[in-house]
Amino acid sequence: QENMAESGGGSVEAGGSLKLSCTVTRATYVGNCLGWFRQAPGKKREGVAAIRTGAGTTYYAPSVEGRFTISRDDSLNTVFLQMNNLKPEDTAMYYCAADLDPLVVLPTTEAGPTDFGTWGQGTLVTVSS
């Protein structure tokens, strides 16, 4: 998606931390559900976390619950994903998404491509053991 700026990926050792950020236009930010999904080579797309910018309701995949925290800064039209205690299985390309169906974070959801909304170019997260 145009006007979506992602940053914060990188390489860390297991147990390390990274923080992703995603800045969108005000029009996209207000009243939206923003978040991240990830995709590793040879694996299907996986919803990671989502946040409703209005109410601040958050959603997490069970695989990241307790390790990742999604938050927002309304003044910056930005959402953040703080990732702690990273594991090698977290290695993937992470995509910020707008108009994200928060149910995609549930492993039981058979998500179709439109459920992931529109997304940016992605940022690579690599976790070594």
How many residues are recorded in the chain?
A: 129
Give per-residue pLDDT as tens, 67-109: 999 999 999 999 999 999 999 999 999 999 999 999 999 888 8
**Do the bridges between strand 78-83 and strand 92-98 make them parallel or antiparallel, or are there none, so unpaired?**
unpaired
DSSP β-ladder status, 123-128 and 58-60:
unpaired
Q: If you average pLDDT over every residue of the chain, what do you get?
A: 94
Distances (CA, A) of 5 to 21, 68, 76: 8, 20, 12
How does pLDDT run across 49-64, given as a tens digit for each residue? 999 999 999 999 999 9
Contacting residues for 46 by C-beta, under 8 A, at least 6 apart: 37, 38, 39, 61, 63, 92
**pLDDT at residue 1 is higher than 80:** no
**pLDDT for the residue numbered 31:** 92
What confidence score (pLDDT) does residue 112 get?
84
